Amino acid sequence: MLASLFPSLSEKETAFWFCCAVLWLFWVFTGFLKNLFTNPTLMGASDFELQVSKTVFVHEVIFWCVKNLGLPPRSKALPKVVLRYYRHQKLMGTYLHRGKIITLYWGSHSTIREVINTLIHEYQHFLDIRKDQDSREYDKETALLGYYKNPFERRARQVANRWENSCLKAMTKKGLLK
């Protein structure tokens, strides 16, 4: 039957292209199913639509953090924020204490809620990890307990989970989200 559709192809070539088409369909279909079960926006969980640029939104969330979580003692400087648009293989965000730099990997997030949670999480690191001594303590705890049990990480997750709804409401109220 396929040979009649493509008379110029040999039987082997037809079989080859048929197998390629089947594999492609399988790849597309399994990717769709994966998204269906892992992407909350496809599962019916409502997310929000940005009404401003990603850069403006990220800076507004950081300003919200300053207002609601405060600045470190004896500091008036905000963290620097680097926005990367691509999806990082492993990370959603990072904090580097030496330059006081928060990096957000926008492409690693599937919802605005996740973006907010990550920014609050990294801002908490900005508050907690101020000096080389703090950074060494962080590394020591990670080596002893692992990333997920590290007290710095546990605190950052706790703070982010506690405040994400409040920040989300504030961003919506400001008209940054719809």
Cα separations (Å) of 49 from 76, 81, 115, 171?
32, 22, 12, 11
Q: Does residue 49 sit within a domain? A: no
Instruction: Output phi, psi for 149, to 5 deg.
Output: -95, -5
Alpha-helical (H) ranges within 39-111 are: 54-69
pLDDT of residue 43: 33
What letters, b where the CB count within 10 A reaches 16 and e where it falls short, cover 31-54? eeeeeeeeeeeeeeeeebeeeeee
User: For all residues of the chain together, what is the average pLDDT?
Assistant: 85
63/129 same-domain check: yes
59/31 same-domain check: no
pLDDT of residue 17: 67
Q: Does residue 29 sit within a domain? A: yes
User: pTM score > 0.85 for this model?
Assistant: no
Residue 13's pLDDT band (cuts 50, 70, 90): confident
Residue 70's SS3 state is: coil
Percentage of the chain modeled with pLDDT above 90: 70
pLDDT of residue 129: 95
Q: What is the pLDDT of residues 24-73, one digit of tens each?
A: 556 555 654 444 444 444 333 357 899 999 999 999 999 999 999 999 98
Q: Does residue 81 sit within a domain? A: yes
Q: Please work out, in degrees rounded to the nearest 5, the angle formed at the alpha carbon of residue 109 by the alpha carbons of 106 and 40.
A: 150
Domain of 89 in residue numbering reads as 54-173
147/73 same-domain check: yes
31/88 same-domain check: no
Q: How many Å apart are CA 47 and CA 45, to the nearest integer? A: 6
74/100 same-domain check: yes
pLDDT of residue 151: 97
Considering only CA atoms, which of 65, 78, 88 is closest in space to residue 156? 65
Residue 119 has pLDDT above 50, yes or no: yes
CATH number at residue 133: 3.30.2010.10
Q: How many Å apart are CA 76 and CA 55, to the nearest integer? A: 22
